[in-house]
Structure 1
C-alpha cells in the first residue's frame, strides 16, 4: 500500500500547476482529467480501496482540489470540502467504476434476478454490410397540420411511443392507420429494466415487422416523439440490437416489398391525435397483466443503479463524519448540498459561512491568531457564524432587511433549504453574508 501512496504524491506534483486556475476550472479539470485518471482500469485494481490507508491517501489527494474549487480555508476538513465541492469521494468513484466493469464482463447486475442479463451490443461482423444499410432522415412536426402535410403522400401512417410509469412498468405501442380507414393497435409490455429509449425503438420495430408481414405494399410514414431514437437510427453504424433490427427490416421492406419508409419527429403532448393515441396505448401496455418481453437491462440502467448505491454510501459517510459539524447544521443530506451548489454556486464568502472556517474570531482564536473569541460589539458574545448572522447589532440593519423579506414570504430566514424555494430570499441571504464577511476584518481591527 506504500506504493499507492507514493503514486498519489507523484500525481499531486504533476497536477499542482493547475491549482492556480479559476475555481470553476479546477472543478472541470478534476472531473474531466483527474477522476478519470484514478478510475482507469478500476476493474483490475479497484479492490484496493478496501484498505484504510488507500482510502486515506485518496481523500487527502482529493481534498486539495476540493478546497481550491470551493475557495475555502485550507483548514476545512476533507469530508466537508469534498461534499461542498460535490466531488464523489474517490474511493467510492473507483468502486463504482469497478462494479460497472464487472457488470460489463459478467452481464449480471447484483440488484436484479440473474435471468435478466445485460443487453448486448451487436458485433460488427453480425451487422448489415454498410452497402446494405438504409440511410435515414426525418422531418419535424409541431402541429396536426404539420404532420398531415408531412405524411400526405404516404397512405399508411404509423405513430409509435414508449412509456415508463412511476412504478417502473414499461410498455410500447404502435398505432397504424390503414388506407381503408381501419386502425391497428400493437402493444407490448416490456421488462422493468428497459429504458424509455429502448421502448421507443422497440415500438418502431414492432410496427415495421407487422407491416412487413401484412399484405399492404404501400409507402409508410412513421411518426415518433423520441428524438434520441430517430438520431440513433440515423447512425448507420449504431451497434444497438434494436437499431440493427430496424435497419434489417427497412432493407427488407425496400428490396423485397418496394416499400419506402419516411420518418417524422412529432412534438409530444401538443394535440397530434396519432401521437396521443400511441401515448395512451403505451401506458396501457405497461400495465397489462401479461408476461413481459425484452427482459434485459441496458448498461445505462446498471450505471443508474450503481450510482444510487454510491450516493447512499456517500450519504452514510457524510452522516457519520465527525468533522462535518458546521456544514451539517446547514445541510442534512448530500442532495441538499447539491441543490444549493446547483442554484447558488460557491463563493469565498458563502464557503466561510457554511464551513465555519473564516475571518470570525471564534475561528481565529482556535488557531491562536487572536487573543479571545469575543465580538467587539459587546465584548461578551462569542463571535461565531450564528452570532454574526442572527444577533450582532453591527449588522442589525442588514439583518432586518433580510428577515423582513423572508417573513413576508413566511420563510425561515436562516434555513437554506427553505430560502432556495424562492429567488428573492436566497439572493437577500447571499448579499447579507457577503456584507458580513467583507466588513468583518474592519470590525475586528477596531
Structure 2
C-alpha cells in the first residue's frame, strides 16, 4: 500500500536505501573514470583532483575523489582498444566437455614442459603460483602475492598464474611443446579475447610474455588446458598449495619473478565495486536495526536487512502477482484490516467486524479471531503444527506454507471484496522454479 514505509519496501524489493544506492552510483562513476587510459580527456583531471583537494572552486571530481578512497594511479587501466583488428591468440586452448575427458587428456599429455598454475584467495589475500615439470620432474616453482582480497579477485590470480608459467620457459633449451594447465575456464577463455574488460591488463601481459617465449623458441607449440581441481592431479594440487601459501604472504623473491610483476599489481575495478557495495549493505543493515519498523517487523523476520531481502526474494519467486501483493501487505501490516484502515482514517473503528475485538491486526486475523477458528484449525493441520503454537513468522516466512495460507485466505473471504479469489499455489512448481 502507499502508506508502507520506504525502508520496509526496500527490503521486500531487495534494494538498498536511496542514499546508499546514490552512493553506489557515484562510486561506480569514479571507478570508471579511474580506469580510463592516458589518451582520454579526463585522464589527467581525475588524477589532479585525486592528488589535491583545493580550497575554492571545487569541481565534482574533487568531491568524488574526496568522498571515496579510489586512487587512480593504483587502479587498473582499461583500454578502449587492446589489439589490432586482425589479432589472434598464438596459443591453443583445450577445454574438455567433462571431467573424465579432462582427466584422460591429462594422462595422455606428453609435452616436454608441463606447467600448472592456480590462483587462490585465503586469509584476506590473493595469491598466484606456477609449478613447472620437465620430464616428470619438478624443476621450478614461482609464487606471487597479488594483494588484498579487498582490491583483487581470484580471477586475477588465475591470470597471473599463467604469466608465471611462461617465465621458466625463457631459461630452457630444446623445448618443442609446452602445456599450461589451470582449473579456471574463465581465465582460459580470456586468453583468446580481444575486447576490453576488467583485468585485461593481466592477460595483455601474458601475451607479451608469450611473444618473448616465441622469439626464443620459434618452433614451440604452447597450449592451455583445463584440468579439474581437487581431483588428485599432482601438479594441480601442488599449484593450489603454493597459491595458498603465496596468498598468506610467503611468495618468491622479486628477482625470480617476471620484471612487470615485481611492482604492485593494479587494483581490480570489480573488487573495488564489490567491496563498496558490501559496505553499503552493512550500512543498510545497521540502519534497519535502528529503524522503528524493525521492532514491529521482527515477528515476521528478525534477520538483517540483506538476509531478510534474500529470504523474501526466495519466498516470492514464481508466485502470482496477487499473492505477492497480499503477502507483502500481511508482512508489513499495511493491509485492508481495520487496525490499519483506522490509522489512515478510512474507517471509524479499529475493531474486528467479525468478533468485535478492539484491534483487528494481522496477528488477530491469522492467530486469534474466533470467527475463523475452523479455518485456522484446518491451516494448522495443513502445516503440520498440531499441538504447537502457530506464529505469524511460521505462516508468513516459510515458502512451504504459502499454499496453505492461500487456502486460509480464500476460506475466510476477508479480502474477497478487494482481491477476489486467490489462485492456488503448487509447492512442486515453486520448487522447480527455484
**Structure 1 pair 329/188, CA: closer, same or farther in 2 (3 Å)?**
same
For residues 181-260 of structure 1, the aligned pairs below 5 Å read 181-192=137-148, 193-238=151-196, 240-257=200-217, 258-260=219-221
Cα distance change of structure 1 residues 377 and 439 upon mapping to structure 2, 3 Å threshold? same
Deviations 1:21-60 (A, max 9, x none): xxxxxxxxxxxxxxxxxxxxxxxxxxxxxxxxxxxxxxxx
Distance 1:403 1:123, change over 3 A: closer
Q: Distance in 2 between matches of 1:133 and 1:377?
A: 76
Instruction: Call closer, same or farther: CA 1:443–1:148 in 2, change over 3 Å.
Output: closer
Say whether the 8 Å CA contact 2:115–2:133 is kept in structure 1: yes
Return closer, same or farther for 1:117/1:407 CA change in 2, 3 Å cut-off. farther
Deviation at 1:160, TM superposition (A): 0.9
Distance 1:406 1:243 in 2: 62
Give the distance between the partners of 1:146 and 1:75, measured in 2 at CA.
Answer: 58
RMSD: 3.6
Residues 398, 197 of structure 1: CA spacing in aligned structure 2 closer, same or farther, 3 A cutoff? same
In the TM superposition, 1:7-406 aligns within 5 A as 73-103=1-31, 104=34, 105-106=46-47, 117-122=74-79, 124=81, 129=84, 131=86, 133-141=88-96, 142-143=98-99, 146-149=102-105, 152-165=109-122, 167-179=123-135, 181-192=137-148, 193-238=151-196, 240-257=200-217, 258-289=219-250, 294-322=264-292, 326-327=296-297, 329-332=299-302, 333-345=304-316, 347-393=324-370, 394=372, 395-401=375-381, 404-405=384-385
Partner of 1:426: 399
Contact 1:161 1:279 in 2 (8 A): yes
Q: More helix per residue: 1 or 2?
A: 1
Contact 1:365 1:373 in 2 (8 A): yes
Q: Partners in 2 of 1:283 and 1:116 — Cα distance? A: 28
Q: CA deviation at 1:136?
A: 4.7
Cα offset for 1:368?
A: 4.1
| Cα contact 2:114–2:178 (8 A) shared by 1 | yes
Aligned residue pairs total 362
The TM-score, its normalising length taken from structure 2, stands at 0.71
Please report the TM-score for the alignment, with normalisation by the length of structure 1. 0.70
Q: For residues 367 and 415 of structure 1, do their structure 2 counterparts lie closer, same or farther at Cα, with a shift above 3 Å needed?
A: closer
> Paired residue for 1:43?
none
Contact 1:221 1:261 in 2 (8 A): yes
In structure 2, the CA distance between the partners of 1:407 and 1:111, relative to structure 1 (3 Å rule), is farther
Mapped to 2, the partners of 1:233 and 1:159 lie a distance apart of 16
* Most deviating of 275-284 and 425-434: 425-434
How many Å apart are 1:300 and its aligned residue? Answer: 0.9
Tell me, in whole angstroms, the C-alpha distance in 2 between the residues paired with 1:362 and 1:132: 70
- Is the alpha carbon distance of 1:373 and 1:202 closer, same or farther for their aligned partners in structure 2, counting shifts above 3 Å? same
d(CA) in 1 for partners of 2:147, 2:357:
66
| Greater alpha carbon shift after TM alignment, 96-105 vs 215-224 | 96-105
Q: Distance in 1 between matches of 2:109 and 2:177?
A: 11
Please tell me whether residue 440 in structure 1 is matched to residue 408 in structure 2.
no
Unaligned 5+ runs, structure 2: 35-45, 51-64, 254-261, 419-434
> Once the 2 structures are TM-superposed, how far is the Cα of residue 118 of structure 1 from its aligned partner?
0.8
In the alignment, the residues of structure 1 paired with residue 347 and residue 311 of structure 2 have an alpha-carbon distance, to the nearest angstrom, of 32
Tell me which moved more, 217-226 or 374-383: 374-383
Separation in structure 1 between the aligned mates of residue 386 and residue 282 of structure 2, nearest angstrom: 33
Shift of 1:309: 2.5
Query: Is this contact kept in 1: 2:83–2:194, CA < 8 A?
Result: no
Structure 1, 257-266 or 82-91: larger mean CA deviation? 82-91
Aligned mates of 1:288, 1:442 — CA distance in 2: 65
Q: CA deviation at 1:145?
A: 6.5
Contact 1:191 1:293 in 2 (8 A): no
Contact 1:171 1:282 survives alignment (8 Å): yes
